[in-house]
Amino acid sequence: MDGKKPYYVTTPIYYVNDVPHIGHAYTTLACDVLARFMRLDGRDVKFLTGTDEHGQKVEKSARSAGMTPQAFTDRVSQNFRDLVGAMKFSNDDFIRTTEPRHVRACQALWQTLVDKGEIYLGSYHGWYAVRDEAFYGEDELTTTPTGRKIAPSGAECEWVEEPSYFFRLSAWADRLLAHYEANPDFILPPGKRSEVMAFVKSGLKDLSVSRTTFDWGIPVPGDDKHIMYVWLDALTNYITAAGYGDPAMAEDFSHWWPADLHMVGKDILRFHAIYWPAFLMAAGIAPPLRVFAHGWWTIEGQKMSKSLGNVIAPQALIETYGLDPTRYFLLREVPFGNDGDFSHRAMVNRLNGDLANDYGNLVQRVLSMIAKNLSGIVPEPGVLAESDRRLLDAADGLLGTVRAEIEVQAFHKALDAIWAVIGAANRYVDEQAPWALKKKDPPRMAAVLYVLAETIRHLALLTQPIMPDASARILDQLGVAADARQFANFGPVHALTPGTPLPPPQGVFPRFVEAAPTA
């Protein structure tokens, strides 16, 4: 904590009953890119992910695996930690809701809500979907010919009748609406904000926040027949990790909270944009600054499901296409916030088009000309022409553009802007034809290659958050020191130093070649 502006970003905490797939990797990847970007931009970053380990759904999965819930969650939580390693996520913390720090924070929040008169004892009777760990009103359900009740998410509901504590959610509708009005960017994208507002305007009922018919969860303070509703438990993770409920961490909590961003899938927006700010406001805690709901991926046009057998493990993508192309594809292919489809064809087009042909080829051409024609030494720029300045200014100006897009989680637009400069740089190579200048005008060839190398330095600095390995390899090949890769090194002041010897160039983005069909 050194006076730099803090940036706190969180992923949803994942249910451990599932194996990690591309949907989970997507959410965490978006946060990873934000966290890396903000660190490079000089912010003090906290990036949190973790696992949601309590509740009926996890208890059921443990039982069918023939294990105790604790042993089961200890084992499967590891799958999500392995994903962190495989995708090179740079999270600063990994929270498990079974940890003592989290139990303490949940009980502290509960007690505060009780003290403020926001929780009361009653009894619940209604529909509950274990798959979603959510309560549904009769009017939201459809009935199958055999009488089964199905939630809008497709999850089957069961009838529940039991004593329960309630949170006075109904009393918070007006204050929630006032909060959305006063903070137009609290929920993004805007279409999702309208949906949430319409839902709140239609009226909120008090929310059942404890259960008595199973016991895998956090006991209600002073009444341990009840365990806390798993969503109250799960949402609290965001403040647990910031230090809430631990007097020794009061200073950390005021440093990190409110979080800058909770990144979530559209399926769980209601919990984050309605319940969570209401719990927090009721406890006298500031709501997070933003909740962004991203879209869902389908696979080759189909919903991903275990029964269809089309669930894609991120590790499989990494093995087939490489880590950086996978990271690039996921954030480039689909406007962030929309649903998207993953297909092999689309992936190969991006890999061979944007990466190999555009970015890779630019880097490769320039570095090999410097190696061949200039003995691998950064040349003197000499006097710059108008066209040189134009390209350098475009590269320098990218930081502001990309920063503004990243600020609103528009990854695709940030990448569009970067690729526009890659396109301009490739056109500049063709126009200037440095290969033809070798004999005709060597100082001009040196100037052109210097301008290009400097442009590539800017591009590689900016692609670090999305493609950390490839960008590092490019910066290595340009002789950019490890401590000169922050965005503060943008612009002419920190330009490449003429006379610096460069290592021999190596390709960074190989083309994807389809395996020959086997007979």
The residues of the shown chain that bind ligand ME8, judged by CB under 6 A, are: 12-15, 18, 23-24, 26-27, 52, 234-235, 237, 264-265, 267-268, 296-297, 304
Could you write out the DSSP letters of every residue in 79-99? Answer: HHHHHHHHHT---SEEEETTS
How near is the Cβ of 221 to ligand ME8 at its closest, in Å?
A: 21
How far is CA 433 from each of CA 50, 366, 441, rounded to the nearest angstrom? 51, 11, 11
**Closer residue to ligand ME8 in complex, CB, 7/231:** 231
C-beta of residue 267 within 8 angstroms of C-beta of residue 307? no
How near is the Cβ of 162 to ligand ME8 at its closest, in Å?
A: 22
The two beta strands, 44-52 and 119-129, are unpaired
CA distance 428 to 451: 10
**Closer residue to ligand ME8 in complex, CB, 24/350:** 24
Closest CA to 479 of 461, 496, 460, 454: 496
Write phi, then psi, for 473 (nearest 5 degrees).
-65, -40
Q: Any residues with CB less than 8 A from the CB of 485 and at least 6 apart, and which? A: 40, 461, 464, 472, 475
Q: Return the structure tokens found at 76.
A: 């499967």
How near is the Cβ of 457 to ligand ME8 at its closest, in Å?
A: 34
Residue type, 129: A
**Closer residue to ligand ME8 in complex, CB, 83/480:** 83
**Closer residue to ligand ME8 in complex, CB, 136/490:** 136
**Closer residue to ligand ME8 in complex, CB, 27/464:** 27
How many helical (H) and strand (E) elements, i.e. helices and strands, does the chain have? 20, 17
Closest CA to 501 of 365, 360, 364, 367: 367
Could you write out the DSSP letters of every residue in 286-342? Answer: PPPS-EEEE--EEETTB---TTTT-PPPHHHHHHHH-HHHHHHHHHHSS-BTB-EEE
How near is the Cβ of 353 to ligand ME8 at its closest, in Å?
A: 24
**Closer residue to ligand ME8 in complex, CB, 18/223:** 18
**Closer residue to ligand ME8 in complex, CB, 264/366:** 264
Q: Which residue is nearest to ligand ME8 (CB)?
A: 23
C-beta of residue 293 within 8 angstroms of C-beta of residue 269? yes
End-to-end Cα, the chain, rounded Å: 61
Q: Return the structure tokens found at 89.
A: 């996520």
**Closer residue to ligand ME8 in complex, CB, 41/333:** 333
Closest CA to 451 of 495, 517, 418: 495
CA 399 to mean position of chain CA atoms? 20
**Closer residue to ligand ME8 in complex, CB, 155/399:** 155
**Closer residue to ligand ME8 in complex, CB, 15/253:** 15
How near is the Cβ of 209 to ligand ME8 at its closest, in Å?
A: 14
How near is the Cβ of 108 to ligand ME8 at its closest, in Å?
A: 17
CA distance 205 to 183: 24
Place of tokens 């600054």: 289
How near is the Cβ of 453 to ligand ME8 at its closest, in Å?
A: 39
How near is the Cβ of 179 to ligand ME8 at its closest, in Å?
A: 19
Q: Return the structure tokens found at 367.
A: 């570095």
How near is the Cβ of 10 to ligand ME8 at its closest, in Å?
A: 8
How near is the Cβ of 60 to ligand ME8 at its closest, in Å?
A: 14
**Closer residue to ligand ME8 in complex, CB, 403/412:** 412
DSSP 3-state helix, strand, coil percentages of the chain (rounded to 5)? 50, 15, 30
3-state SS, residue 517: coil
**Closer residue to ligand ME8 in complex, CB, 14/180:** 14
C-beta of residue 52 within 8 angstroms of C-beta of residue 234? yes
How near is the Cβ of 110 to ligand ME8 at its closest, in Å?
A: 16
How near is the Cβ of 177 to ligand ME8 at its closest, in Å?
A: 23
How near is the Cβ of 51 to ligand ME8 at its closest, in Å?
A: 8
**Closer residue to ligand ME8 in complex, CB, 14/257:** 14
The Cβ of residue 393 has, within 10 Å, a number of other Cβ atoms equal to 12
CA 447 to mean position of chain CA atoms? 40
CA distance 86 to 29: 11
